[in-house]
Chain A
């Protein structure tokens, strides 16, 4: 069965420090991987995706993520955190099945708190 795990419910970082939000996945075959962010009272906003190619993917707001096939991980990173990055972050996966549809399977979310 396909699954996504975000092992940390909460990550606390000081502003200006690097941040990492962890994600591991379990799917059959090669996955498509995504990160979404949710601000209070807002929908899920797309941050970045890995489809193929370079293992380091760059996305919105200075975020990047590193795909590691051997460790089945797709950790979200940012070199220097901002207070405004504080939000709920979701990792998601979709398997490479060429059919209509395209459901995303989400992790449980990680609350990122960046303190001044």
Chain B
């Protein structure tokens, strides 16, 4: 069964450093997402991406964050200058489309296993 993969599983960095989190979505999916979960808190939406541009972003997703699909398979989240409060589990997700005409239903999002980011 196809699945979303993420690397690395755990990233430790110093405050102020840049990090890039990588995701490989399911191959025929067109919509891509990043979420994060600070320890003990809710899973929060960061950004959605479609057709090589951001579709929607939350207020968390400020100028320090950027996303890119550099090739046909990878989807990356970059944090330019990490802060202590960026420490969290970051989840990538993808979906086949927004709406399936075949099933007349909203396509669910499939999530990766997450990257745990620790900022020291």
* B interface residues (Cβ-Cβ under 8 A, vs A): 4, 6, 31, 33, 35, 41-45, 48, 50-51, 55-56, 58, 91, 93, 95, 98-99, 105-106, 108-114
Contacts and interface: CB of A to CB of B under 8 A. Distances in A.
A103 B36 CA distance: 12
A109 B48 contact: no
Decide if the interface of chain B is mainly helix, strand, loop or mixed.
strand
A108 B111 contact: no
Nearest to B41: A108
B33 A103 contact: yes
A49 B95 CA distance: 14
B48 A90 contact: no
Contacts of A101: 31, 48, 50, 55-56, 98
B109 A102 contact: yes
A106 interface: yes
A46 B42 contact: no
Interface of A: 32, 34, 36, 41-46, 49, 51, 90, 92, 94, 98-109
A46 B108 contact: yes
A83 to B, nearest CB: 22
A41 B113 contact: yes
A43 B42 contact: no
Nearest to A106: B43
B59 to A, nearest CB: 12
Contacts of B108: 34, 46, 49
Contacts of A94: 106
Contacts of B112: 43
Contacts of A32: 106
B109 A106 contact: no
A13 B82 CA distance: 41
Given A43-B4, A101-B48, 7 more contacts: A100-B48, A100-B50, A100-B55, A101-B98, A102-B109, A103-B56, A109-B43
